[in-house]
Amino acid sequence: MAFRDGPFENIKVPLAWTAAVVVVVALIASIVMIVGDRGTAAGRGETGPVRAGFVAVAGPVGGIFAAPVRWTGAVGDHIGGYFFAISENRRLKAENAELKQWRDQAIAMKTVNERYEALMGIRTDPPVPMAAGATVQDSRGPFARARLIDVGAGKGVRIGNPVMNEHGLVGRVVGTTAGISRVLLLTDVASRTPVLIERTDQRALLTGDASANPRLAYVRGTGLKAGDRVLTSGDGGGFPRGLPVGIVAKGVDGSWRVKLFSDRGAVDYVRVLLFQSFGQLADPNGLNAPPLAGLGSAPPPNANEAAAISDAMTRRTAADAAATAARDRRIAEANADRQTPLPAQTQTAPSPDSRPAPLPSATDQAPTPVPGARG
């Protein structure tokens, strides 16, 4: 029997009501998704299989549209270079002359710095390997500022790796697949980057708010000036110390903001720093092991070592016994002093003539001969 021939033949549900039911179900599903995603909202990492799978598909699709743009840009640069070759040559010569002075200073400072490091025994950060990639998709909305780049876990990229262009820090990796990674930009509302002011060594937290210039929050101390250079501080181990970030500027709302170096050029090509902090490099099992755990696997001592150990133990026991006896003696002496009655003292009012004894001045004190002193 067909449905239309049954008892429900004459039941007609208004279309608006059925649509409303779907709307309510969709609203509930949306709220559940938001609540479920709040745990990862701060980092918004592509750790889930749905996000990772979507990014793995969306990345190559974005690359199809980004490739012609990149080619067009390259052609534009070529034509511009042809027409402006002379002026560009003059500019580069002037810049080169200036940079030579900086190079000489850098070489001199590097030599001095190496000597200081050797003298002080400083452990410097090891060189950080990098992986280069191109941007294939760009989110520029107020609620998400992120980019997809065409390098992923296949080239060693991990979640948390810093991303730079040729001018400065761009952001950090928040999700990876085999060939695509998502980069959370410094301007995203969820971005927090520990930074320092180069001139004063003040610490602050670079906080994105989806504007072009992220805000400096929790600035320690005073004395911040517009034009100060901002670097990553390396606090927390997420970023290496000293990556260039930008220049301090006063915002229209009166807050301190940072003009990012990375905005000086296109971020179509970026470098991912395959950085791991010392904290990540350390073996946690080794750090958590008992301090003398190696004794369990140590070879037995020979006769000389056994004699030395026995001698040391005897000396240590004798020293402990002597210390205990001395302590008991001091306690007994203190108890004896407490049991002795003090002589009665009468309180008399000080007479007007009575004056406190003058303190001995430095000139009054006779020099005490120091054994072995000469002169």
Site residues, another protein (CB under 8 A): 14-16, 18-24, 26-27, 29-38, 41-42, 44, 46, 50-51, 54-55, 58, 61-62, 65-66, 69, 135-144, 146-147, 174-175, 182, 184, 189-190, 207-211, 266-268
Nearest distance from C-beta of residue 236 to another protein, angstroms: 18
* Contacts of residue 146, Cβ cutoff 8 Å, sequence gap at least 6: 44, 139, 171, 174, 182, 183, 184, 185, 188
257 in Cβ contact with 214 (< 8 Å): yes
Please report how close the Cβ of residue 290 comes to another protein at its closest, in angstroms.
41
**Tokens matching residue 259:** 């003009």
Q: What angle do CA 250, 251, 257 make, to 5 degrees?
A: 70
CB 132 within 8 A of CB 149: no
| Strand ranges inside the chain, DSSP E | 130-140, 145-149, 162-164, 169-176, 181-185, 192-197, 203-207, 215-217, 229-232, 244-250, 256-260, 269-273
Q: Closer to another protein at the Cβ: 61 or 289?
A: 61
Least distance from another protein to the Cβ atom of residue 18, Å:
5
Closest approach, Cβ 19 to another protein, in A, equals: 4
Shorter beta-carbon distance to another protein: residue 139 or 200: 139
DSSP codes of every residue in 211-242: SSS-EEES--SS---TT-EEEE--GGGSS-TT
- Select 211 or 276, whichever has its Cβ closest to another protein: 211
Pairing of strands 215-217, 169-176: unpaired
Backbone dihedral region for residue 210 (phi beyond 0: left; psi -120 to 50: alpha; all else: beta): left
Distance CA 163, CA 179 (A): 16
Cβ-contact 235, 279 below 8 angstroms:
no
Nearer to another protein, 16 or 112 (CB): 16
| Smaller CB separation from another protein, 170 or 196 | 170
**Closer to another protein at the Cβ: 77 or 125?**
77
Nearest approach, Cβ of residue 243 and another protein (Å): 22
Distance, in Å, from the CA atom of 57 to the CA atom of 49, rounded to the nearest integer, reads 12
Query: Which residue's CB is nearer to another protein, number 23 or number 289?
Result: 23
Residue 34 C-beta: closest distance to another protein, Å: 4
Query: Closest separation between CB of residue 134 and another protein, Å?
Result: 9
DSSP state of 180: -
User: What's the min distance (Å) between Cβ of 51 and another protein?
Assistant: 6
- Nearest residue (CB) to another protein, 73 versus 223: 73
Q: Which is nearer to another protein, 65 or 278 (CB)?
A: 65
Query: What is the nearest approach in angstroms of another protein to the Cβ of residue 177?
Result: 13
Nearer residue to another protein within complex by CB, 1 or 15: 15
| DSSP one-letter string for 238-300 | SS-TT-EEEEEEE-TTS-EEEEEGGGGS--SEEEEE----HHHHS-HHHHHS-TTGGGGGSPP
Contacts of 169 (CB under 8 A, 6+ apart): 162, 163, 186, 193, 232, 239, 243, 244, 245, 260, 261, 262
Q: How far is the CB of 146 from another protein (least distance, A)?
A: 4
DSSP bridge partners of 297: none
